[in-house]
Amino acid sequence: MASYLHEDITQKIIESLEKGVAPWVRPWQVKLPVNAISQNPYNGVNILLLWFMTGEKGYQQHIWLTFNQAKDLGGTVKKGEKGTRIIYTSTAKKKRESEAEDQQQYSFLKSYTVFNLEQTEGLPEHLFFQSKPIDQNNKNKELESFIQSLNATIKHGGEEAFYQPQLDFIQLPHQERFKTLPDYYATNLHEHAHWSGHKSRLNRDLSNRFGSEAYAAEELIAELAGAFLCAQFNLEGKLMHAEYIASWLMILKNDKQAIFTAASQATKITEYFNNLVARA
């Protein structure tokens, strides 16, 4: 089951990337998918799966629920609608060969099916999200405060954006050098994602440089984290490093678990940032 899920999900993302489209990038405002009852956002690769289906079907709602949850809320799934399969990790205990042997736990993937609110009928109106136009040209005060609370060292100037791990600072061109304000914010969040990997924070290996598979994997993690954070703050989706698509395709074709690992790491970054800001 796990192998099939890895291959099926990875293949969908590979097919999208081969068309030059990253499933985490949309040319319109996108929000993180959330569960209708708990209001908790989905995480990891499930964000990509639900975004992928949202784009394919043109859903305006970012809210999802299971068949039984729709029924519990007094509604139902429309006849003929097909759900979207997402995954979660479950655990079980291995059978002991003898009473003296310690019982060990192991984890495995399971899947279940969710439906977008637009695939249902009879649900309470308050569940449906009413989108409001956001002026992408004005400063996002909430995001500005968020970035400031992370307390990273940011230097502005020059024509390049990068994170310098040895000296632990982020370099960004001045804001006015970017075509749009969302471009600046998206790049800022992307470089903060790299910043999170420092040994004093989430401790990812940042020693590899351009051209290596490990560096492309780190770029994929930062790309996903940036996309998740853009969605959190209602910024239009941006693909900042399109030149890495070929490298990402190589990684995904060689390792069917790579996108799961990258999406999990990206979720870990967003959670780490949100915890930092909450404590600030």
The per-residue pLDDT for 16 is 84
The per-residue pLDDT for 98 is 61
The per-residue pLDDT for 21 is 75
Q: Answer yes or no: do 101 and 47 share one domain.
A: yes
Can you give the pTM of this predicted structure? 0.87
Q: Among residues 133, 154, 171, which one ends one of the domains? A: 133
Please report whether residue 246 resides in a domain.
Answer: yes
Q: Among residues 83, 108, 133, which one ends one of the domains? A: 133
Q: Answer yes or no: do 250 and 228 share one domain.
A: yes
Q: Among residues 84, 107, 133, which one ends one of the domains? A: 133
Among 67, 176, 54, 77, smallest CA distance to 112 is for 67
Low-confidence ranges of the chain (pLDDT < 70): 1-3, 26-29, 90-104, 106-108, 131-136, 208-211, 237-242
Q: Answer yes or no: do 119 and 199 share one domain.
A: no
Q: Answer yes or no: do 90 and 69 share one domain.
A: yes
Please report whether residue 50 resides in a domain.
Answer: yes
Q: Answer yes or no: do 145 and 280 share one domain.
A: yes
Q: Answer yes or no: do 111 and 206 share one domain.
A: no
Q: Answer yes or no: do 159 and 261 share one domain.
A: yes
The span from the CA of 118 to the CA of 50, in Å, is 13
The per-residue pLDDT for 110 is 85
171 HSE (CA, 13 A, CB side): 11
Q: Answer yes or no: do 109 and 143 share one domain.
A: no
Which range marks the domain in which residue 104 is found?
Answer: 30-133
- Per-residue pLDDT tens over the stretch 215-268: 889 999 999 999 999 999 988 766 666 678 888 888 999 998 899 999 999 999
**Count of structural domains, the chain:** 2
Q: Answer yes or no: do 166 and 195 share one domain.
A: yes
